[in-house]
Amino acid sequence: MNVVPDQHRLEVGKKSIIHDPRDGDARKITLTRARGSYVWDDAGRKYLDCTSQAWSNSLGANDPRVIEAAIAQLREITHARPNFNTHALLELTARLRDITPGDLNRIGYCLHGSLAVEMALKLAFKNRPDRHNVIVMQDAYHGRSITTMAASWPHPNNPFLAISPRFTRVPHPDAYRPRMGMDVEQESALCLSLIEDTVTKGVDGGVAAIMVEPIMGNGGHIVHPASFHKGVREICDRHGIILIWDEIQSGFGRTGAMFAADLYSVVPDVMTFGKGIGGGFPLAGIFASDRLEGFDAGEDALTFGQFPVSMAAAIATVDAIIADKLCDNARRLGDYATQRLIEMSERRKLIGDVRGPGLFVSLELVRDKITKEPSPRAASEVYARSVEKAVLFGEARYAGLGNLIKVKPPLDCTHEDMAMALDVLDEVLGSIERDGAY
Ligand SMILES: Cc1ncc(COP(=O)(O)O)c(C=O)c1O
């Protein structure tokens, strides 16, 4: 094996990557190493990673407990087709059943969030076979498979639209940008009544499922009031609709609770999970209510549906989240971050809004606090200038506004690291304001 990187070979490799080169463009960093809240690039530069790699390294990267568990599993068995059980699968299932909300005691696995959403939809259609519609929120994000792209915010140029299933996007409340003259509770009530109208009058045929992200992630970090979640649950109950909560981004401690369902005291019928559960290894799936019928043989069997190495890593991750009280840490550190950002917003004219909860932290950058005109340019500048100062923040590429900065390090990030990240953010916002680069 060639151990010394040959620069020419690496350049050729970069050009051969099929994904759109604009996705990350010239700033794309080649990562070579990761530990805890830090990553290193191929020039040996060290960065504080406030993205946890798509908010997925719930524990800091390469946590020794996770790595040891994965290596031990690698030595035993790495692959089993879905007709077989493995100890890792049974053990993880038992662990998860102890922490799932309400009666969500049945668990299905896959390797990617998008496929978990597809699994949730399939289960809803299986349980409501005479209904073909799914209601989703207008700014929702549910993934990048053909079906989940159709379920997400309108992609500026979705080339797969011709083969879309029947999704209807409905409005949802937005506390920072409420509809004319309303407060968020009034807007919540209006949206609920529009959703119920859509169920009864807005689609041909019945509605099998309503799918909601408890806190909207890629669609702008929009936090919904509890009244909205309660109201959607009630609509589902009144009309026999399956309520799916997509907790791929919010689950496993990110919000300061194990699941957002615990925060809002709402139990959906199906909940998707992914990202943080694997401690950096790919794993996703669904929790489903005992009341729902499961899949028959062959209805949802994927060759790599259970990757024992990811499952062993997930057992170690879930154990560590509980043992290290990382939900508490996410809450404490998140409170500290949002408080400091609110204080910063009093001095920094670019910060329009600060959002939580827990370590689901973000800020909206605006050109004007009164008009709330979004500034995607400021977000782009924050990202680029922070990279120069060795901190990686998340950026929203969302088609709607594109002006969000996300501060979402691993759940076990230290106070000192968070303080340093916020100092850098303050400094770069100051320099962008001075340069008028927004
Ligand atoms: C709420 C939500 N659902 C689904 C997905 C898709 O997950 P994946 O990228 O693992 O397919 C994501 C990813 O960002 C997400 O945030």
User: CB–CB of 326/98 below 8 Å?
Assistant: no
Q: 373 falls in which pLDDT band (50, 70, 90)?
A: very high
Q: What value, to the nearest 5°, has the Cα angle with vertex 141 and ends 135 and 146?
A: 80
**Structure confidence at residue 399 as a pLDDT band (50, 70, 90):** low
Which pair of structure tokens corresponds to residue 220?
A: 């702008």
Q: 127, 160 in Cβ contact below 8 A? A: no
Sheet holding 284-288, edge to edge: 106-110, 284-288, 270-273, 242-246, 206-212, 131-137, 167-170
Q: By CB neighbour count within 10 A (0-12 exposed, 13-18 middle, 19+ buried), where does 48 fall?
A: buried
Q: Each residue of 101-148: pLDDT tens digit?
A: 999 999 999 999 999 999 999 999 999 999 999 999 999 999 999 999
When the pLDDT of each residue in the chain is averaged and rounded to a whole number, the result is 93
Q: What letter does residue 119 receive in the DSSP assignment?
A: H
The three state secondary structure string of 103-127 is: CCCEEEEECCHHHHHHHHHHHHHHH
Q: How many CB atoms lie within 10 A of CB 347?
A: 11
Q: Residue 55 Cα, ligand 1 centroid: separation in angstroms?
A: 10
Q: How far apart are CA 140 and CA 175, in angstroms?
A: 16
Q: In the predicted model, what is the mean pLDDT of residues 336-361?
A: 97
Dihedral over Cα of 319, 320, 324, 327: its sign? negative
pLDDT at residue number 313 = 98
CB 385 within 8 A of CB 431: yes
Banded model confidence at residue 3, pLDDT cuts 50, 70, 90? low
- What is the structure's pLDDT at 41? 95
Q: How many A from CA of 250 to the centre of ligand 1?
A: 10
Q: Which residue has the higher pLDDT, 148 or 16?
A: 148
Which atom in ligand 1 lies closest to the alpha carbon of residue 114? 11
Return the closest-CA partner of residue 67 out of 321, 314, 313, 413: 313
- Asked if residue 142 has its Cβ within 6 Å of ligand 1, the reply is yes
Residue 407 CA to ligand 1 center (angstroms) comes to: 18
Nearest CA to ligand 1 atom 4: 142
Please say if the pLDDT value at position 346 is more than 90.
yes
C-beta of 117 in contact with ligand 1 (< 6 A): yes
Phi and psi based region of residue 298 (left: phi greater than 0; alpha: psi -120 to 50; beta: remaining): left
- How distant is the alpha carbon of residue 31 from its chain centre? 21
User: Considering only CA atoms, which residue is closest to atom 6 of ligand 1?
Assistant: 143
The pairing of beta strand 206-212 with beta strand 131-137:
parallel
| Phi, psi angle pair for 45, to nearest 5° | -75, 140
The string of pLDDT tens digits covering residues 61-85 is 999 999 999 999 999 999 999 899 9
Average pLDDT over residues 14-26: 61
- Residue 25 pLDDT > 60, yes or no? no
Q: Which residues contact 20 (CB under 8 A, 6 or more apart)?
A: none
Rounded Cα–Cα distance for residues 323 and 265 (Å): 23
More confident residue, 342 or 396: 342
Cβ atoms of 257 and 226 closer than 8 Å: no
Q: Which domains does the chain have, with CATH numbers?
A: 64-323 (3.40.640.10)
Helices marked H in 273-399 — which ranges? 308-323, 326-347, 376-388
- pLDDT tens-digit profile of 304-329? 988 999 999 999 999 999 999 999 99
Q: What pLDDT does residue 392 have?
A: 97
* DSSP-derived secondary structure letter, 202: I
Instruction: Give the amino acid at 283.
Output: L
Q: Is 48 in the pocket of ligand 1 (CB under 6 A)?
A: no
- State whether the beta carbon of 51 lies less than 6 angstroms from ligand 1: no
217 CB within 6 A, ligand 1: yes
Instruction: Answer whether residue 21 shows pLDDT above 90.
Output: no
pLDDT tens string 204-261: 999 999 999 999 999 999 999 999 999 999 999 999 999 999 999 999 999 999 999 9
